[in-house]
Structure 1
């Protein structure tokens, strides 16, 4: 097999890259170890920055997003029993949209299949070869047959546990990591959302988040220990803890109870590798970086990576040189580290840390009060939340 760009991974990063390359007249093959049903049905968070919505819309895969997505013009920070709204749209002219990651994947798979682009599911024994040469290749098994895909470039979009990053020789990449001393217990419930916008709650018992998947599906998170036993959390205990952490001074209960459909525990970590390439192998999305979910940056960072990489590959494949490809890692990492900073800041400001004698709690309350009272601080949060510009060289209004 022969193609211009071999793409490992059919998540949002790999599928969006294949879509953008198709629009630019560049051939690609997408390889995915899981089944189509698995990648389409795996429920993942989905808060889309304005820039992510824009790129999906501009490239023709945003119709269902605009029909079914839930636009949000603000968020609420709740602490000391009171809510404080940050007007995202009023401060920045931009907003965010709730639309599940699996729904983005479905839309991109449909687009890929509609124009007949090669998309192979359930491949096995995938391995990258000769990435440091001008003729890299990917070997794999599909339908019981051993195959080799020869490429000009390989895009590693196969997530944190994928094979692409691990295929790079030791010593080439430098990894930066922070593991947080807490996790999130998340539930999906058949209940009306607590609010039409997200609520981030700082409470002395720990952080809580109220969000949604639709008007009838609520998604809630509670800070817990990383080694928490999910079996120890009965439905009654979960609802009681949500009511306690979301409590308002006026006594009005916003959390709406309903049958809990899913429960799970998510660890919290920050992770970045530099550079995001080795020879003709380029890493994107979770293969290169992980952020704690507090800032809602995971999928949005993947989309930002792909916008930079697709533009660079278009120039390279159409004979306009490799300057943009050579700058890919530096360009992408500038935005990655700013998203890491924002996610770390939100996480540090809202979570309870073990061993705190009250000092940390009072500092967090002071920080939250400042963010909500200062127009400049509110703007800083808002412009980070809706998404920084793709390039540091771009106008902040771009």
Structure 2
């Protein structure tokens, strides 16, 4: 089988790229190692930037998002016994964010791909990517018990940090910059209405906490915990009690999280990673295959979407005009945005979390930075513009 673009990975980046290419008249095949049910149930990000929402709408995948997604115009910072709201539209040139789970984005894109797009093969385990230095690279994969080969003009790796695509770039030709953090997140999904209609980011001597949501009836909440934490060590009651303690504003009357059944509990390690360049020959990397951010800045899914928006434009231009100018600039174009998002995510993470070896001096620096955001329009605007997402 031959196609113009072979896409490895049927997550949001691979599926969005396939949709954008379909709309541009560029053929592609998507190979996903897992089955459809698994892909549609993977719990990941839930915050969409303005540019991501605009891209989904333009791709024809915005109907359910507009009907069910929750538009948010701000976030709340809690620190030192008080709260401060960041108003996104007024500080970020009208941009806002949406709460719409990655699982729902994936469901929408899969439905469109199966109805209108090129082949989307589930259970297609990629074994190797070969010939990327030639003009006819190939992907060897196993599907339905048979070894098969897909040849293409370009291969796009949307299969994550541990995927085949990233390791197909010779070690001598790639550099990976990494940072691991000395804490993790314990995340829960609970059948309980959110206590507040926007996200709350809490700095506390007990550690960081985040109150988010998936819908008006389902809350998504996180606690900073030590690395290596076993979710089984945290009973539901212990989780709720700790969340209440970290979000507490002391004398605030009547404020308490709405409790309900915990339907999912997991621990998420925190790390940052960037692999450069994002192109090697006819192989292009996108999303987690090229970069990972800690979730504090809500950038992972949005960075992946930005990558494939840039890439789709470049591929469409290549086949419309014959020019490779945009493709040749793909890595540099994306990396400028990637490093800005990496820095913002690092800033949010280190400002709001308590390091295990943190000194009182360090805590005072954090509080000083949060105070500056609360009192300086310039500092607040810097946070809002990065949070809502820089324009593409």
Establish whether TM, by shorter chain, passes 0.5: yes
Aligned to 2:9: 9
| Deviation of the 1:42 alpha carbon | 1.5
Counterpart pick for 1:347 among 346, 349, 360: 349
Instruction: Output aligned runs, 1:47-58, within 5 Å.
Output: 47-58=47-58
Q: Where in structure 1 are there 5+ consecutive unaligned residues?
A: 391-398
Partners of 2:27 and 2:374 lie apart in 1 by 49
Residue 81 of structure 1 corresponds to which residue in structure 2? 81
Q: Deviations over 1:44-99 (max 9, x none)?
A: 22100000000111121100000000100000000012110000012221110000
Aligned to 1:108: 109
Q: Is the 1:186–1:219 Cα contact (8 Å) retained in structure 2?
A: yes
Shift of 1:125: 4.5
Aligned equivalent of 2:63 = 63
Report SS of the residue matched to 1:306: helix
Deviation, 1:316, is: 1.4
Write out per-residue CA displacement over residues 95-130 of structure 1, whole angstroms, 9 at most, x where no aligned residue: 100000011011111111111420000012431011
Partner of 2:274: 272
* Pairing 1:21–2:30 present: no
- Cα distance in 2 for partners of 1:304, 1:338 equals 13
| Partner in structure 2 of residue 395 of structure 1 | none
Per the TM alignment, residue 141 of structure 1 is displaced from its structure 2 partner at its CA by 1.3
**Cα shift readout 1:246-303 (whole Å, capped 9, x = no counterpart):** 0013233231111111100000000000000110000000000000000000000000
Look up the match of 2:168: 167
Q: Is the partner of 1:67 in helix, strand or coil?
A: helix
Rounded Cα–Cα distance in structure 1 between residues aligned with 2:22 and 2:294: 32
Q: Which residue of 366, 373, 380 maps to 1:364?
A: 366
TM score, norm. by length of structure 1: 0.96
Provide, for residues 292-348 of structure 1, a one-character-per-residue CA deviation record: whole Å limited to 9, x for no partner.
Answer: 000000000000000110011111123431111110000000000000000000001
- Say whether residues 1:34 and 2:34 are aligned partners: yes
Superposition map of 1:1-398 within 5 A: 1-92=1-92, 93-252=94-253, 253-390=255-392
Aligned residues of 1:195 and 1:254 also touching (Cα < 8 A): no
SS in 1 for 2:215: coil
CA distance in 2, matches of 1:249, 1:186: 24
Aligned partners of 2:205, 2:369: CA distance in 1, in Å?
A: 15
Contact 2:293 2:299 in 1 (8 A): yes
Contact 2:45 2:300 in 1 (8 A): no
Q: Which runs of 5+ in 2 are unaligned?
A: none
Cα deviation, residue 35, structure 1: 0.2
Deviation at 1:226, TM superposition (A): 1.0
CA deviations 1:172-229 (Å, max 9, x no partner) are 1000000000000000111111210000000001000001001110111000011112
Partner of residue 393, structure 1: none
* Secondary structure of the corresponding residue to residue 301 of structure 1: helix
**How many Å separate the matches in 2 of 1:191 and 1:104?**
22
Contact 1:194 1:211 in 2 (8 A): no
